[in-house]
Structure 1
Amino acid sequence: MTTPFSGILAAVVTPFRADGSTVDAGGVRRQVEHIVGAGVHGVVPLGSTGEFTTLSNAERKEVADLYLRAVDGRVPVVVGTGALTTGETIDLTRHAADAGATAVMIVPPYYGALGWEEVVAHYGAVSDAVDIDIMFYNLPDATGLDISAGRLAELARSTRVTSFKDTGGDAVKFATVLHHYADVIQPLNGYDTLTFSGIAAGARAGVWGAASVIPQLCADFYETLAVRGDIAEAREQWTKIFPICEFLEAHPYASAIKTGLDLVGVPSGPPRLPALPLTPEHATTFARLLREAGIDLPR
């Protein structure tokens, strides 16, 4: 396994212009400065938060290029390249590798659940075609696929999969990988409300959508819990962060993150249809939670 990730990697949005029809390059630069400038340790474009399923492959390549240029080597960039076919996944992965991505994040094809042999064949084909590390994106709600801890390790042994982002919410499976298979595959928490438990259990990194909205709070929390090991202070910080995570998970996620970005003064345009922005009532609730967490919102 290559050098593991460390810290908080922000799951980032795809900024659109006001009508949602085209990608906003300036919006990408604003996101990067907001997030990386606050001390977050990496960015993950073109995952679920990045609305990748609403983008053409040409747009996905454009967004990957924009984020890589804006980051300019300051932190790792893990580009989402999962697609419905192996051929498309290879094409997107090759582009990300050529553009300078640190790694790629690949969700299993998500229309019909794959069998185990198909999973191995899919990730194996990408591994054979492109020389880049792969983060397995565990998202059973969307893929219908829930691989055991042992099989995740088996997949890592036979392909270029070196890590997995766990958005399944199964804390026991996450701990099993952490304690029994971390020498083979690195687990990264990807379930917002389980961030405290995942890092406290020993995870060295997480992919966290909330870090796009409240990057300083998330970076400070990681420093307190993972680096300094001050669990008492981390609990105090978590009392501010947890309600925000809870809110995000209770709403359409990308729309909620974009609402949060509007509230903190780093707008990224609307979600792409058919997704809709949060209602004004929900936005008001979100604003209250941000203020209660100590975020000074622009007027």
Structure 2
Amino acid sequence: MALDGLTVPMVTAFQDGGEVDTARNARFARGLCDARVDHVFLLGSMGEFASIDPGERGALLESVIESLTWGVDAWVGCGAPSTRQAVRLAEEAEAAGAAAIVAVPPYYLHPTLEAVERYYRALHAAVRLPLLAYNIPSLVGYALPSALVHRLGKEGVLAGAKNTAGSWDSVADYLDGAPPGFVVLPGDDVLALESITHGAPGAIMGLANIVPKLAVQLVKGARSNEPESARPLHDLIVRLAQVAGSGPFPSTAKFLAQELRAAPVGYSPPYDP
């Protein structure tokens, strides 16, 4: 399956009491489909996966995946502190109709890199879906070295990686020496244009929750024969990123989506705007 284009790490909508709101999530996903995004990424960092009850995940996946139109598919975050938990989440995602799984390495406690490698191998063996590693050291507490990611890519364990390390140097390190067909996707919106012009086949953009059509145009422009045509859109994204980054994550982005798109999402305490 194709892993290119624009992927939106979708925010999760909640009821007033903090419970997952399946109807709101389905409506929000349909709005992204209408903007012609390529993929939605459910239960990632932007989706507050760590604060969602395990029993709510299935209903959320079912409601969103059934609502997708225009050929949009769903990737699902399945990272967990233990291999057993992550495998269970991956199996649940596959049964719900996910097109790919994305997994942060084990977090809170820090295993050895050899153990992290076994973790990804176990996920790959558990399901028949493309598996992307998710490098986000600011939240996990440690980085995934490019050497490990590339080796697992060469062996077919990983189909790609989302890199949200916060620097161009880290994304460039992932792109440099990546095996053929291995997909490297930047997770920082402000790096989308530069990453695509240096070989990334797309981008994962959280700000697409707020301005999905603008993000679609940016990615398409960056992948065209005239990538500099996307520079004005990139400049807008940089300014919006400054606004979204001025408050708590991800509730500030959710507030902006609610205000600018009239797309009510709700919050799960204590992650209020």
Report the TM-score range of the alignment, normalised by the length of the smaller protein: over 0.9
Which of 24, 33, 46 lines up with 2:30 in the alignment?
Answer: 33
- Paired position in structure 2 for 1:78: 75
TM-score by length of 1: 0.86
Please list every run of 5 or more consecutive structure 1 residues that lacks an aligned counterpart in the other structure. 278-299
User: Residues 184 and 148 from structure 1, CA distance in 2 versus in 1: closer, same or farther, beyond 3 angstroms?
Assistant: farther
Give the letter for the 1:6 counterpart: D
Give the letter for the 2:3 counterpart: F
Instruction: Give the conservation status (yes or no) of the 8 Å contact 1:153–1:184.
Output: no
Quote the offset at 1:157 in angstroms: 3.3
Give the letter for the 2:251 counterpart: S
User: Residues 174 and 182 from structure 1, CA distance in 2 versus in 1: closer, same or farther, beyond 3 angstroms?
Assistant: farther
Instruction: Give the conservation status (yes or no) of the 8 Å contact 1:15–1:24.
Output: yes
User: Residues 61 and 52 from structure 1, CA distance in 2 versus in 1: closer, same or farther, beyond 3 angstroms?
Assistant: same
- After superposing on structure 2, the runs of 4+ consecutive aligned residues of structure 1 that deviate more than 6 Å are none
User: Residues 24 and 256 from structure 1, CA distance in 2 versus in 1: closer, same or farther, beyond 3 angstroms?
Assistant: same
Instruction: Give the conservation status (yes or no) of the 8 Å contact 2:190–2:237.
Output: no
- Paired position in structure 2 for 1:168: 165
User: Residues 172 and 194 from structure 1, CA distance in 2 versus in 1: closer, same or farther, beyond 3 angstroms?
Assistant: same
- Paired position in structure 2 for 1:8: 6
Instruction: Give the conservation status (yes or no) of the 8 Å contact 1:8–1:205.
Output: yes
Which of 175, 197, 214 lines up with 1:178 in the alignment?
Answer: 175
- Paired position in structure 1 for 2:41: 44
- Paired position in structure 1 for 2:231: 235
Give the letter for the 1:60 counterpart: R
Cα root mean square deviation, aligned: 1.7
- Paired position in structure 1 for 2:92: 95
Quote the offset at 1:183 in angstroms: 1.2
The answer to whether residue 131 in structure 2 is matched with residue 134 in structure 1 is: yes
Instruction: Give the conservation status (yes or no) of the 8 Å contact 2:7–2:37.
Output: yes
1:41-89 per-position Cα deviation (integer Å, ceiling 9, x unaligned): 1100100111111011111222222221111572121101111111111
Give the letter for the 2:231 counterpart: R
Please list every run of 5 or more consecutive structure 2 residues that lacks an aligned counterpart in the other structure. none
Larger Rg: 1
Helix, strand or coil at the partner of 1:50:
coil
Instruction: Give the conservation status (yes or no) of the 8 Å contact 1:169–1:191.
Output: yes
User: Share of identical aligned residues, percent?
Assistant: 27
Instruction: Give the conservation status (yes or no) of the 8 Å contact 2:153–2:179.
Output: no
Quote the offset at 1:218 in angstroms: 0.5
Aligned positions of 1:63-74 closer than 5 A:
63-71=60-68, 74=71
Give the letter for the 2:108 counterpart: Y
Which of 243, 248, 254 lines up with 1:252 in the alignment?
Answer: 248
TM-score by length of 2: 0.93
| Cα distance in 1, alignment partners of residues 124 and 232 from structure 2 | 43
Instruction: Give the conservation status (yes or no) of the 8 Å contact 2:90–2:127.
Output: yes
Quote the offset at 1:228 in angstroms: 4.1
| Cα distance in 2, alignment partners of residues 159 and 120 from structure 1 | 13
Instruction: Give the conservation status (yes or no) of the 8 Å contact 2:90–2:126.
Output: no
Instruction: Give the conservation status (yes or no) of the 8 Å contact 1:124–1:159.
Output: no
- Paired position in structure 2 for 1:143: 140
Helix, strand or coil at the partner of 1:60:
helix
Give the letter for the 1:213 counterpart: I
